[in-house]
């Protein structure tokens, strides 16, 4: 048993303290020392001193835990940060790493990996994590023999490819030789409670036992992202007008909100979340379908708390169980038939086609929470002060023989007019901000409401007198009907705030013309801008535009070279933070 008096002179204790410590610790067993080490680390973490330098020898004794996350809107990142604190209390040397900043080689010696991964687009990884993800799936990915891992997948069960990226990461880690320490968990939009339980149990499972059994870990504190959701600001609508002509195929409105007194701050590129309410007609239809009309408390709850529109596979199965409907059970359990039924249908279709009277609690237990909707902020506080401007497209379509309306967008366009209010909070989007150097060129590519953040960028560059070139490549259907913010954009072009404007009016000529066609035509200029250090931005439609623009950029970057070079160069731009996407 070594005495503390053998410690080097550099030990940060006076001789009398070392003697006192000797009495207790000098005779301590290995287990008692490990306990103490974990206890002290836990104390530091609890007091917010998690970053205090711990002597190398003490760190080396701790098991390594790499908390690897992939995020788009910050949920995985917030969970990763919270998990790091709790892992430290459990005696881990825990490190948090964004997949966007990681290389696959960092996985080899990670010890244990706890991956927290969301899915975006249509079953795709978050955009900034895409280069890492491609490398992980590629043939040069390293062996993970000797590495333990566990995956928490975030998603939205209304998407066909629910938690796809988390699932594929989990399978890939195993295929590369890693050993799965805990079964993957797939969590829906209301992920908080499930994440807390799974992370707690997984850390418990992985923890060095002496330390883990001593420190009490809890996930009771609200996660960072939850507070703003639960306490939104009621912002008055101070202006609202249509940006599209009556002859346009769809309606888009400009909305101005007063933020005075809220303390809310944002940067151009950030989004504002609107906490929506379901419309009265849909609530009434749903209540009637389950035989609960007239229940005032339930009406309120369905209006503001529950998603009564989307229909998920789980909901179909659960509804079959609670109603004991065997016909529905047969449909819900047959994946092919179930998918066919769900296409274009919503909760109301299920309730009307399989009508049953339900108790209120049983019905609400079926439902998911009503999620906030995000809107790119179309203004700069340097120019508009305590206001936030939004550009909102009204969503209305027909499916399965019924007219449907988007919850949040039609709430704004049809019901909340000037003088009304919206409950909002800011969702920062630091990965879609302007370059720090305002002399750096920017290339803004977008279509439809994708122009919104660029209005914020141009307001900001106007307010700061930024010298960098600004090039806007903007797509819409018709120059005359839906060229959003036309007058302002032309004024910025005239004043030089905007250096170049290229429009793709897709339906003004027989051949469809989109932003990717403009980019291809202008490829020499684009390569020149990239060589001059330009940052590229892409905003708007994820399903069609984003893929086509990516493909075109790869063609442009690889022209005259091997085709694969295009992907490598595009990945290099993403990793350098010079190709930023905000697509939805
Ligand atoms: C970061 C970010 C920024 C955004 N910025 C903006 C912005 O600046 N402006 C803007 O208008 N929107 C923006 N959006 C989109 C916005 O958040 C909402 O998704 C959009 O307004 C629709 O919401 P809703 O509540 O009206 O519709 P919901 O009630 O949520 O309905 C949308 C759902 O309807 C279904 N659907 C839609 N069209 C069809 C169809 N033709 N056929 C069948 N089903 C269909 C799909 O399942 C879709 O998910 C942004 C999204 C993100 C993530
Ligand atoms: C535009 C958009 C596309 C999405 N696509 C999917 C999807 O294909 N599959 C899925 O399971 N979840 C999907 N989601 C849900 C996200 O994964 C979910 O909101 C998650 O909590 C986000 O975590 P993050 O903030 O860490 O990115 C999508 C969300 C948005 C807004």
Residue to mutate, 80, 159, 226, 450, ligand 2, most ligand atoms under 8 Å from C-beta: 159
Instruction: Choose the final residue of a domain: 406, 427, 448.
Output: 427
User: Does one domain contain both 423 and 530?
Assistant: no
State yes or no: pLDDT of 215 exceeds 80. Answer: no
User: Does one domain contain both 200 and 259?
Assistant: no
Residue to mutate, 375, 413, 582, ligand 1, most ligand atoms under 8 Å from C-beta: 375
Domain carrying residue 17? 4-46
Look-up of token digits 């229909």: 311
Residue 416 belongs to a domain with what CATH number?
Answer: 2.40.30.10
Q: Is residue 79 part of a domain?
A: yes
309 lines ligand 1 (CB under 6 A): yes
State yes or no: pLDDT of 31 exceeds 70. Answer: no
Q: Is residue 534 part of a domain?
A: yes
Q: Is residue 54 part of a domain?
A: no
User: Does one domain contain both 260 and 320?
Assistant: no
282 lines ligand 1 (CB under 6 A): no
Q: How far is the CA of 33 from the centre of ligand 2 (A)?
A: 44
Instruction: Indicate the pTM of the whole model.
Output: 0.86
User: Does one domain contain both 388 and 362?
Assistant: no
- Give the Cα separation of 219 and 306 in Å (integer): 25
Q: Is residue 55 part of a domain?
A: no
Q: What is the pLDDT of residue 213?
A: 43
5 lines ligand 1 (CB under 6 A): no
Q: How far is the CA of 141 from the centre of ligand 2 (A)?
A: 26
Cα 273 to Cα 106, 228, 244, 386, 540: the distances in Å are: 35, 10, 23, 16, 16
User: Does one domain contain both 405 and 487?
Assistant: no
- Give the Cα separation of 161 and 261 in Å (integer): 41
User: Does one domain contain both 349 and 294?
Assistant: yes
User: Does one domain contain both 163 and 214?
Assistant: yes
Residue 534 · residue 440 · CB < 8 Å:
yes
583 lines ligand 1 (CB under 6 A): no
User: Does one domain contain both 263 and 405?
Assistant: yes
**Ligand 2, CB cutoff 6 Å, lining residues:** 71-76, 118-123, 126, 154-156, 159, 161-164, 189, 542, 584
Q: Is pLDDT larger for residue 561 or for residue 450?
A: 450
The protein residue whose alpha carbon is closest to atom 44 in ligand 1 is: 344
Instruction: Choose the final residue of a domain: 427, 443, 459.
Output: 427
Q: Is residue 74 part of a domain?
A: yes
State yes or no: pLDDT of 273 exceeds 80. Answer: yes
Residue to mutate, 77, 154, 583, ligand 2, most ligand atoms under 8 Å from C-beta: 154
Total domains, the chain: 5
Q: Which ligand is nearest to the CA of 225?
A: 2
Mean residue pLDDT across the chain: 90
Q: Is residue 217 part of a domain?
A: yes
Q: How far is the CA of 100 from the centre of ligand 2 (A)?
A: 17
Residue 449 · residue 477 · CB < 8 Å:
no
484 lines ligand 1 (CB under 6 A): no
Q: How far is the CA of 406 from the centre of ligand 1 (A)?
A: 7
395 lines ligand 1 (CB under 6 A): yes
Look-up of token digits 């048993």: 1
State yes or no: pLDDT of 41 exceeds 70. Answer: no
Q: How far is the CA of 532 from the centre of ligand 2 (A)?
A: 34
User: Does one domain contain both 25 and 84?
Assistant: no
Assigned token pair, 246 = 């009556």
What are the tens digits of pLDDT across the range 385-402? 999 999 999 999 999 999
Q: Is residue 51 part of a domain?
A: no
pLDDT band at residue 181 under the 50/70/90 scheme: very high
Residue to mutate, 374, 403, 455, ligand 1, most ligand atoms under 8 Å from C-beta: 374
Q: How far is the CA of 488 from the centre of ligand 2 (A)?
A: 33
What are the tens digits of pLDDT across the range 315-351? 999 999 999 999 999 999 999 999 999 999 999 999 9
Q: Which ligand is nearest to the CA of 159?
A: 2
User: Does one domain contain both 71 and 201?
Assistant: yes
Residue 85 belongs to a domain with what CATH number?
Answer: 3.40.50.360
Residue 456 belongs to a domain with what CATH number?
Answer: 3.40.50.80
396 lines ligand 1 (CB under 6 A): no
The protein residue whose alpha carbon is closest to atom 30 in ligand 2 is: 120
User: Does one domain contain both 258 and 394?
Assistant: yes
User: Does one domain contain both 500 and 445?
Assistant: yes
Q: Is residue 248 part of a domain?
A: yes
Nearest to 477 by CA among 170, 223, 160, 247: 247
- Give the Cα separation of 323 and 320 in Å (integer): 5
Residue to mutate, 70, 71, 72, 127, ligand 2, most ligand atoms under 8 Å from C-beta: 72
Q: Which helix (H) or strand (E) holds 164?
A: helix 164-175
For the chain, percent of residues with pLDDT exceeding 90? 82
């Amino acid at each position: 048993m070594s005495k503390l008096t053998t410690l080097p002179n550099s030990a940060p204790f006076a001789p009398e303290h070392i003697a006192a410590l000797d009495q207790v610790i000098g005779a301590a067993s290995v287990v008692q020392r490990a306990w103490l080490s974990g206890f002290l680390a836990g104390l530091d973490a609890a007091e917010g001193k998690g970053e205090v330098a711990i002597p190398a020898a003490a760190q080396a004794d701790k098991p390594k835990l790499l908390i690897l996350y992939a995020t788009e809107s910050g949920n995985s990142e917030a969970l990763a940060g919270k998990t790091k604190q709790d892992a430290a209390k459990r005696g881990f040397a825990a490190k948090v790493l964004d997949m966007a900043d990681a290389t696959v080689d960092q996985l080899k010696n990670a010890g244990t990996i706890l991956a927290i991964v969301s899915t975006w687009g249509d079953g795709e990884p978050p955009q900034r994590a895409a280069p890492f993800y491609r490398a992980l799936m590629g043939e040069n990915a390293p062996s993970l023999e000797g590495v333990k891992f566990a995956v928490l997948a975030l998603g939205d069960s209304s998407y066909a490819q629910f938690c796809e990226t988390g699932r594929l990461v989990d399978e890939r880690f195993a295929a590369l030789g890693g050993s799965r320490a805990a079964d993957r968990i797939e969590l829906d939009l209301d992920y908080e409670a499930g994440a807390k339980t799974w992370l707690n149990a997984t850390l418990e499972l992985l923890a060095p036992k002496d330390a883990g059994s001593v420190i009490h870990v809890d996930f009771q504190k609200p996660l960072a992202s939850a507070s703003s959701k639960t306490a939104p600001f009621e912002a008055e609508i101070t202006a609202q007008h249509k940006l599209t002509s009556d002859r346009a195929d769809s309606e888009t409105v400009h909305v101005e909100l007063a933020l005075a007194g809220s303390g809310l701050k944002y940067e151009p590129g950030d989004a504002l979340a609107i906490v929506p309410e379901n419309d009265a007609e849909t609530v009434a239809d749903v209540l009637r379908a389950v035989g609960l009309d007239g229940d005032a408390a339930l009406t309120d709850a369905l209006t503001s708390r529950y998603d009564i529109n989307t229909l998920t596979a789980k909901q179909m199965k659960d509804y079959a169980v609670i109603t004991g409907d065997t016909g529905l059970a047969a449909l819900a359990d047959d994946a092919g038939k179930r998918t066919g039924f769900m296409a274009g249908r919503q909760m109301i279709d299920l309730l009307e086609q399989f009508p049953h009277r339900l108790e209120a609690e049983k019905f609400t237990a079926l439902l998911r929470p009503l999620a906030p909707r995000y809107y790119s902020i179309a203004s700069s506080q340097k120019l508009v002060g305590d206001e936030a401007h939004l550009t909102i497209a009204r969503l209305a379509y027909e499916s399965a023989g019924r007219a449907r309306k988007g919850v949040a967008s039609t709430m704004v366009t049809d019901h909340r007019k000037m003088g009304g209010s919206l409950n909002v909070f800011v969702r920062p989007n630091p990965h879609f901000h302007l370059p720090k150097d305002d002399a750096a060129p920017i290339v803004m590519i977008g279509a439809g409401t994708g122009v919104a953040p660029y209005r914020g960028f141009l307001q900001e560059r106007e307010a700061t007198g930024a010298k960098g070139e600004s090039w806007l490549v903007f797509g819409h259907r018709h120059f005359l009907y839906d060229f959003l913010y036309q007058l302002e954009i032309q004024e910025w072009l005239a004043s030089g705030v905007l250096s170049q404007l290229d429009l793709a009016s897709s339906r003004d000529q027989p051949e469809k013309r989109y932003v990717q066609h403009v980019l291809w035509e202008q490829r020499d200029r684009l390569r020149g801008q990239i060589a001059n250090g330009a940052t590229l931005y892409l905003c708007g439609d994820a399903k069609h535009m984003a893929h086509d623009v990516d493909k075109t950029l790869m063609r442009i970057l690889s022209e005259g070279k091997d085709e694969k070079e295009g992907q490598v160069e595009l990945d290099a731009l993403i990793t350098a933070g010079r190709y930023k996407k905000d697509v939805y």
